[in-house]
């Protein structure tokens, strides 16, 4: 399933995981920093194939499809392929936003652009596209909480984010409220990173409700949906919440801010990951832990070779 040695020795995440009998996923971290031009070209071609089937009547000009050269240097890409013929059928592009929180640098994982070939929708890919990469990064971060952000007008996605992650705002859940840190993160995202999710400068932001008004003007125009066309959540409360908070004719979005912590990771494992995929996920988790914890100890114990700024004593 893995070339374990090559995965462990790489500084950036590059995992190829068979998620089921029908599909496999490849997760590549910041490919623009280490892939050669041929590999990057193949990656972009696979992304375009999925986008061409998911949005057949329009082009996108933001995120991984923008002309900015540094996009793939700060984006983690999860691509899902059909095992039988190797065709790319879905992807998630997860930008990492560098912010300052209380004077300290912090990284926020933006859940980013998710696209699925219509022919494979409702085939159990949500746990791969919306949680797998975040869970592996949480492990690599030594189980420290990670901030996440999400921009959407789709009730099904808004509900899934609210149920998967912790302390998400905005959400119809009882007791949901915005914290000072969430307010600071949302304000900085809208000030400096709105291009990441295709929101133009003219879009407004309701800082009390975390609602982006007239959001589809910065490259994401072709993703605008009516409420009737937007996929609904199985729980009516999320559908009613989006209908009440968002003006779909104008083109509003929710900006959701939450955390991936130990409780969220536990919910993901118990409620989202299929039972038959737990073994594969355990292997992936083992690789991440070896890469993050065991390998540095092995390097530290070898006093004959340099490691980073450390040099062997004479």
Number of folded domains that form the chain: 1
Q: How far is CA 179 from CA 122, 186, 310, in A?
A: 34, 11, 41
What range defines the domain where residue 117 resides?
A: 4-301
Using the CB atoms, write b or e for 144-153: b if 16+ within 10 Å. Answer: ebbbbbbbbb
Residue 175 lies in a domain: yes
Report whether 256 contacts 210 (CB < 8 A). yes
**Across 103-107, 174-178, 224-228, 272-276, least confident range:** 272-276
Query: pLDDT of 73-96, one tens digit each?
Result: 899 999 999 999 999 999 999 999
Residue 312 lies in a domain: no
pLDDT band at 146 (very low <50, low <70, confident <90, very high): very high
Provide the pLDDT for residue 292.
60
* pTM of the predicted protein model: 0.82
Residue 309 lies in a domain: no
Query: pLDDT of 52-79, one tens digit each?
Result: 888 766 666 677 877 666 788 899 999 9
Instruction: Identify the sign of the CA torsion 111, 263, 272, 161.
Output: negative
SS3 313: coil
pLDDT band at 1 (very low <50, low <70, confident <90, very high): very low
Residue 314 lies in a domain: no
- Cα separation of 182 and 184, whole Å? 5
Residue 257 lies in a domain: yes
Residue 306 lies in a domain: no
Residue 297 lies in a domain: yes
- Cα separation of 19 and 35, whole Å? 24
């Amino acid at each position: 399933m893995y070339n374990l040695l090559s995965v462990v020795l790489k500084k950036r995440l590059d995992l190829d995981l068979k998620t089921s009998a029908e599909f496999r996923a490849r997760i590549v971290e910041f490919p623009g920093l280490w892939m050669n031009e041929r590999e990057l070209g193949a990656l972009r071609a696979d992304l375009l194939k999925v986008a061409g089937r998911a949005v057949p009547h329009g082009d996108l000009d933001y995120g991984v499809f923008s002309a900015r050269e540094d996009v793939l240097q700060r984006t983690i890409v999860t691509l899902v392929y059909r095992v039988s013929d190797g065709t790319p059928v879905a992807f998630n592009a997860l930008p990492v936003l560098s912010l300052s929180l209380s004077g300290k640098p912090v990284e926020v994982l933006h859940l980013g652009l998710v696209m699925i070939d219509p022919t494979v929708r409702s085939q159990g890919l949500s746990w791969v596209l919306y949680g797998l990469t975040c869970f592996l990064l949480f492990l690599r971060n030594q189980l420290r909480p990670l901030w996440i952000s999400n921009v959407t007008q789709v009730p099904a996605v808004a509900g899934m984010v609210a149920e998967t992650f912790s302390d998400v705002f905005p959400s119809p859940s009882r007791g949901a409220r915005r914290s000072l840190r969430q307010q600071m993160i949302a304000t900085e995202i809208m000030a400096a990173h709105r291009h990441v999710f295709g929101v133009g400068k003219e879009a407004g932001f309701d800082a009390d409700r975390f609602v982006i008004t007239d959001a589809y003007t910065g490259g994401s125009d072709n993703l605008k949906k009516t409420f009737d066309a937007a996929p609904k959540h199985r729980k009516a409360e999320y559908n009613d919440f989006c209908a009440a908070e968002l003006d779909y004719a104008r083109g509003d979005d929710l900006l959701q801010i939450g955390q991936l912590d130990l409780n969220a990771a536990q919910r993901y494992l118990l409620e989202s990951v299929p039972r038959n995929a737990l073994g594969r996920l355990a292997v992936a988790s083992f690789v991440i832990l070896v890469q993050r914890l065991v390998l540095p100890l092995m390097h530290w114990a070898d006093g004959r070779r340099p490691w980073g700024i450390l040099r062997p004593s004479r």
